[in-house]
Amino acid sequence: MEIHKIEAGTFQCDGGAIFGVVPKRVWQKRYPADRDNFCKMAMRCLYIAVGDKRIIIETGAGDKQLQYLKYYNFQDVLPLDKALLAFGTACEDITDVILTHLHFDHCGGCTHNATDGTIRMRFPNAAHWVGKTQWDNFLNPNIRESDSYFVENMAIVEQSGQLRLIESDRFLCPEIELRIFDGHTVGQLVPYITLPNQTLVYVGDVIPMSANIPLAWISAYDTHPIRSMEEKQRLLDEAIEKAQMLFFGHDAYTECCTVVSTNGKYRIGETFDFDTVITNSVCRYVRKDERKRKR
Ligand SMILES: [Zn+2]
């Protein structure tokens, strides 16, 4: 398997929106904010080549609505066609696009403005995987989420017949399982990627940043807060039990981490750069952990 991260740009969100009811005095010790209380957020995607599949997980916000969304102060937005060139791949080669959910900062890069003014698919030959309940929510959004959904991000994907809706957990290929979590929004897809000696979990907005690991530290954007906490707990319990590695799409400072819990409180175990995870150091970490368990 070949696997690369793609930094598709950054934007800013209000810290109060990101950490919900948690007071700033508490969260600012775990995540920095500027004078206006804005926090820097990454849009970190993955490219995976395995077997005959060429897979993109998440597409970032793209560049269609940057002016309309200028409040978010998007920076360094990297079109995915340029990003893929670095790996010797073209957008036409992509077979599968996995979208955790359809808020603009996750699916906007699926489509782009062509020079003739029309909106085109960025990955014209790819199946685009979305949770069925997330798709239904996109078509009939509630009053909270309607501002985050843009019809033009997905309309031509649906018209192309390349939208694939998932109603239950399933494997995309032997190395990647797509699981459904109802955290943050309904029907979010969480890819579980099997690496040698390690499972990498692309946690999406179930846990947008490592600072969101404590159960109550959920975003004010979450539509069903209690459900969000329950779903996060389900993900974290398995991550601890199986020593899985979490991969964060939005954390501008921490790419990956393990999780521990003490007396029912969840916190970061160890943090890692993505590149370190892909090298042997994490294999050593797993062996060290196994030794502990055997004792
Ligand atoms: Zn997001």
Q: Which residue has the higher pLDDT, 187 or 295?
A: 187
The number of distinct structural domains making up the chain is: 1
Task: Indicate if the pLDDT at residue 202 is higher than 60.
Answer: yes
pLDDT reading at 295 higher than 50: no
C-alpha 117 to ligand 1 mean position (Å): 27
Average pLDDT (6-20) is 96
Position 281 pLDDT exceeds 60: no
Q: If you measure from the C-alpha of residue 103 to the centroid of ligand 1, how many angstroms do you get, rounded to a whole number? A: 7
| Structural domain that includes position 171 | 2-294
Question: Which residues are found with C-beta within 5 Å of the ion, ligand 1?
Answer: 105, 205
- Dist CA 169 CA 179 (whole Å): 4
Predicted TM-score of the model (pTM):
0.93
- Please give the pLDDT value at position 197: 86
Q: Ligand 1 centre from 204 Cα, in Å?
A: 7
Compute the distance from residue 43 Cα to the ligand 1 centre, in Å. Answer: 8
For residue 252, pLDDT over 90 is answered with: yes
> From the DSSP assignment, how many helices (H) and strands (E) are in the chain?
9, 15
- Residue 293 is predicted with a pLDDT of 52
Q: How far is the CA of 205 from the centre of ligand 1 (A)?
A: 6
* Gap from CA of 178 to ligand 1 centroid (Å): 18
b/e code 226-262 from CB counts within 10 Å (16+ = b): ebbbebbeebbeebeeebbbbbbbbbbebbbbbbebe
List the CATH number of the domain containing 50. 3.60.15.10
- Kindly tell me if the per-residue pLDDT of 291 is higher than 70: no
**Mean pLDDT calculated for residue range 13-17:** 96
Q: Does residue 120 register a pLDDT over 70?
A: yes
